[in-house]
Chains A and B, each alone.
Chain A
Amino acid sequence: MAPSLPLRDVKVLDFMWVLAGPGITRMLADYGATVIRVESTGRTDPTRTVGPFQNNRPGTESSALWGNNNAGKFGITLDLSKPEARNVVLDLVRWADLVCEAFSPKAMRAWGFDYESLRKVKPDIIMLSTCLMGQTGPLARFAGFGNLAAALCGFYNLVGWPDRPPSGPFSAYTDYIAPRFGATAVMAALIHHKRTGEGQYIDQAQAESALHFLTLPLLDSVANGRKYSPVANYDPYHAPHGVYPAAGDDRWIAIACRTEEQWQALCRAMKRDGLATDSRFKSLGDRQANQDQLDRIISEWTGRLDGHQAESLLQSSGVPAHVVQNSSDMSDDPQLKHREHFVQVAHPTLGETFVEGSRFKLSRTAAQVERPAPMIGEHGQYVLEKILGYDEERISQLVVDGVLG
């Protein structure tokens, strides 16, 4: 018999929102946790309204972004303005080991679902609050998306061309850093609970987690007074180091040579052995000083080639190179196929759809995507009946009273 999933005994009440929060509970669901995602009526999760959409048809049930972040969870909607909804939540708190929320700091307090209130109901509850800037401080109430935290953290000025305003990272960058830290924090708290029986409160400021990805410039800035500004694809340890055109529209190949061997292998692969001894390109410093000339020579060569063929040729010669993958390259990538990175799931209305699988492999207890992301209110009946054990009469009353939205 296959061993049961690592978090099979973990029950999670999920008040997450948008991207950074749901990413945490998605990871827990992959490894067996029972996650009940509560959606509030009248507050559509923004990710339900952002693409990519299945068959390019926008709608609150067709977003692959929502689907990817919430796969494996059960979903219930509650009208939290109603007192009966509050009782349902408190019953769910009694059921849960872990409550996670990603609203702005005032929202949970306003509903009476702050940690102090919840621990009165369940003394050993673990609660994680995750928001942009943290629960305290002058910017605690500054709510928004990961692009805003990324701007405040200094990520924008690190992506760009020296002759232009910064391009900034793609979309909501801190939303792709924070969930990993949040999941690590939650796991530490679950381990602590298992050992001591003690619950606790965790305050995650997504910006404070994300700044760990900028430790180097932050230390350098204080210690050396160094300034950081956009440098396009320059790297102190690699030359050539860049993105070169391949044949086709918006097709590119990334090439990065760190060692002399890699540089010489690149020259051989381009059938330009003379370049390796060319005084303009002899050392790393020479190649960096004459980067524009070198980039032109490489671009002339790559521009005629199919990117995938160039990648194979270069990698088989020992040169770090890869096609700059777009979404169709990703779905065709033999490595991602081998890793079963994309997982097919059957959805009640979309039919067969796809999510990304766990981003790591556990050899003995592999992750599973047990169900697609919930449709709005999909598991209300299931949660009330099977998980909370409410009788039919009580459930009907909740429906009649509009508690389920």
Chain B
Amino acid sequence: MLSPCRVLDLTTERGFLCGQLLGDLGADVIKVEPPGGSIARSLEPFFGDQPGPDRSIYWWSYNRNKRGITLDIQSEHGREILHRLVRDTDILIESENPGAMTARHLGYDDLRRINPALVYVSITPFGQDGPKAGYADSDLIIMAAGGVLILYGDEDRAPIRMSIPQAYLHACVDAGAAALIAYYERLNSQLGQHVDVAAQESVALAAQSVPLTGLVHGDDTRRMAGGVKMGPIRVPLVWEARDGQVSCVFLFGTALGQFTRKFVDYLYREGACDKAMHETDWIGYGGKLLSGEEPMEAYEHVKGVVAAFFKSKTKMELFEIAREHNFLIAPVATIDDVLRNPQFIARDYWQEIKQPEAAVTLRYPGPFARFSTKPIEYRRRPPAVGEHNHEVFVGDLGLSESEFRELARKGII
């Protein structure tokens, strides 16, 4: 759909997903790696647990639908070649620490002179400037800084993060949307601009507006094992079923209380709760808890009744009930459960890609959205080191065969 958009992807392991999204949407994305290959190729897990540049599952995860070239952008000659590539580039993506690209004469102000229409996307932990722009970071650090980590984990222990790093993924997809907003604007103005994505601000979205609490003088939200504490009200989201857990929303108010009312109707019909609980006003229940009209012990009793019902059923039995009656209940899935989920299979979601160097066929999450005009296709597997050097440097850029060999000899590509 984005064709003929050309993207130059200079990102480190922080930023791979952004270019992949644009590649999925049909852009011609060229991933630039240093000679010898990206450091991300040495990141685990590896296929068969055996390290190797063409065995890293980390690399494979986010470099689909890109062509791959190697280029030493630290060297002057390498930079010169990059400048030539930039002339025909619509979107450039980088994820170095602030200032690092400028130090190499590859900052936005350097490259806009070569190509004023360039959309230049920077993905950093805290943004291009400001008191924390130079902070050392990691996934955990950004989750802490973004107001998300404090909400994760059990109230009687330290906060914990999601064990699969997420911070830069949030930033990368924001960067994809931002790049396309700038690209759309460029179709009118013919001008590029600098897109500055700060992972701290991106991840803050996952705190569900809790970061606004202080500014609006609201009641604080705190973490709780398998749920959340909204002011004094302890709201469980994870419940024990007979064979694992389910997630369920059992809440109050004009909107959510309706679901609770329907669910308690069902519990009553099934003989799982008494008449008093059945007749409770779930719309106004939260307000009564806050005012003290309804004691917290009564709410704890209600949760006990619901918990006993869940404990008497398997996850799948509960899911069947939820689907039949439109209740807000879903099983807590393992990764294996996800792969077996009939919905994703019925929608042909999983996409297989062969990696010939490692003789393995990978099963990828499929299109992130389904377009009626130009459906997302997985046209290219993640490239091997320098796989498209000849195609790009000779074919696209017009270097002669001897210039190409010379670059290889000097170790620039």
Contact = CB atoms under 8 A, between A and B. Distances in A.
Given A53-B218, A177-B173, A335-B130, A216 B212 contact: no
Interface string B169-202: 1100111111011111101110101111110111
A92 interface: no
Contact of B158 (A43, A56, A158, A243): A243
Interface string B43-82: 1110111000000011011100000000000000000000
Nearest to A245: B158
B341 A152 contact: yes
Contact of A152 (B182, B193, B214, B338): B338
A169 B160 CA distance: 10
A204 B204 CA distance: 23
A359 B193 contact: no
B154 A212 contact: no
B25 interface: yes
A339 B211 contact: no
B365 A212 contact: yes
Of the candidates B180, B227, B364, the one having the most CB atoms from chain A within 10 angstroms of its own CB is B180
Interface in B337-364: 337-339, 341-344, 346-347, 349, 360, 362-364
Given A176-B205, A187-B184, A214 B1 contact: no
Interface stretch (A83-91, A217-225, A385-393): A217-225
Interface string B144-175: 11111111111001111111101001100111
Secondary structure at the B interface, as helix, strand, loop or mixed, is: mixed
A210 to B, nearest CB: 9
Contacts of B290: 58
Interface in B359-409: 360, 362-374
A214 B141 CA distance: 20
A15 B390 CA distance: 49
A318 B136 contact: yes
Contact of A327 (B21, B144, B147, B329): B147
Contact of B247 (A148, A180, A207, A328): A148
Interface stretch (B248-256, B273-281, B298-306): B248-256
A102 interface: no
Contacts of A27: 177
A258 B368 contact: no
B247 A359 contact: no
B126 interface: yes
Interface in A152-204: 152-161, 164-173, 175-177, 179-185, 187-192, 194-195, 198, 200-204
Contacts of A171: 151, 208, 228, 237
A243 B154 CA distance: 13
Secondary structure at the A interface, as helix, strand, loop or mixed, is: mixed
Interface stretch (B28-36, B264-272, B320-328): B320-328
Nearest to B211: A330
A116 B338 CA distance: 32
A209 B17 CA distance: 12
A258 B140 CA distance: 12
A279 interface: no
Interface in A59-73: 60, 64-65, 68-69
A248 interface: no
Of the candidates B144, B154, B182, the one having the most CB atoms from chain A within 10 angstroms of its own CB is B144
Nearest to A327: B213
Given A6-B184, A169-B152, A322-B141, A192 B373 contact: yes
Contacts of B143: 254
B103 interface: no
Nearest to A257: B138
A355 B228 CA distance: 22
Contact of B195 (A205, A318, A360): A360
A319 B136 contact: yes
Given A192-B1, A208-B368, A320-B138, A360 B255 contact: no
A44 interface: yes
A270 interface: no
Contact of B246 (A51, A151, A327): A151
Contact of B217 (A55, A204, A355): A55
B216 A211 contact: no
Contacts of A202: 369-372
Interface string B73-113: 00000000000000000000000000000000000100000
Contacts of A238: 138, 140
Contact of B256 (A49, A154, A324): A49
Contact of B238 (A149, A165, A321): A165
Interface stretch (A130-138, A283-291, A395-403): A130-138
A315 B145 CA distance: 13
Contacts of A141: 323
Of the candidates A137, A140, A359, the one having the most CB atoms from chain B within 10 angstroms of its own CB is A359
A278 interface: no
Contact of B184 (A147, A190, A227, A253): A190
Contacts of B162: 155, 158-159, 169
Contacts of B230: 51
Interface string A352-387: 011110011111110000000000000000000000
24 contacts: A48-B254, A52-B212, A53-B218, A54-B216, A138-B346, A157-B335, A170-B206, A177-B170, A180-B176, A188-B25, A188-B26, A189-B1, A190-B184, A208-B365, A212-B17, A215-B62, A219-B61, A232-B160, A235-B138, A243-B159, A243-B160, A254-B140, A359-B198, A361-B127
List the 7 closest pairs (A to B, CB-CB), nearest first: A52-B218, A6-B185, A187-B180, A338-B130, A49-B253, A151-B247, A180-B173
Given A161-B160, A327-B210, 6 more contacts: A43-B255, A52-B216, A54-B218, A152-B333, A159-B153, A159-B162
